[in-house]
Amino acid sequence: MKIVLGVSGSIAAYKSPDLVRRLRELGHEVRVVMSRGGISFVTPLTLQAVSGYPVVYDLLDPAHEAGMGHIELARWADLILIAPASANLISRLAAGSAEDLLSAIVLATEKPIMLAPGMNRLMWANPFVQRNIAALSAAGIDILTPGSGAQACGEVGLGRMPEPLEIRDHVTAFFQRSATDAAFDSRAEIEVEMVDGADEIDDENSEPQGALIGKRVVITAGPTVEEIDPVRYISNYSSGKMGYALAQVAQRLGAEVTLISGPVAIAPPAGVETIAIKSAEEMMQAVERACQGADLFIAAAAVADYRVADRALEKIKKSDDQDELILKLTKNPDILATIAKGEARPTLCIGFAAETNNIEENAKSKLRRKNVDMICLNDVSGGKVFGAAENEMLLFKRDGSVTPIAKADKAIVAEKIFEEIINLFPAKFWC
Q: Which residues contact 229 (CB under 8 A, 6 or more apart)?
A: 311, 312, 313, 314, 315, 316
Asked whether residue 78 is marked as a ligand-binding residue, the answer is no
Asked whether residue 334 is marked as a ligand-binding residue, the answer is yes
User: What is the CB-side half-sphere exposure of residue 86 using CA atoms within 13 A?
Assistant: 21
Asked whether residue 146 is marked as a ligand-binding residue, the answer is no
Maximum CA extent, the chain: 86
Backbone angles phi, psi at 317, to 5 degrees: -85, 145
| 3-state SS assignment for residue 213 | coil
Asked whether residue 333 is marked as a ligand-binding residue, the answer is yes
CB 303 within 8 A of CB 283: yes
CB 14 within 8 A of CB 50: no
Asked whether residue 409 is marked as a ligand-binding residue, the answer is no
The amino acid that residue 152 corresponds to is A
Asked whether residue 335 is marked as a ligand-binding residue, the answer is yes
* CA-angle at 205, arms to 415 and 203, nearest 5°: 100
- Rounded Cα gap, residues 40 and 34, in angstroms: 10
Name the nearest CA neighbour of 361 among 333, 399, 402, 306: 402
Q: Is 431 a catalytic residue?
A: no
- DSSP for 384-416 reads -STT-SEEEEEEEETTS-EEEEEEEEHHHHHHH
Asked whether residue 315 is marked as a ligand-binding residue, the answer is yes
Name the nearest CA neighbour of 376 among 246, 236, 276: 246
Of 153, 349, 376, 431, the active-site residue reads 153
Name the nearest CA neighbour of 141 among 274, 250, 57, 267: 267
Which residues are known catalytic residues? 153
Binding site, annotated residues for CTP: 305, 315, 333-336, 352, 366, 370
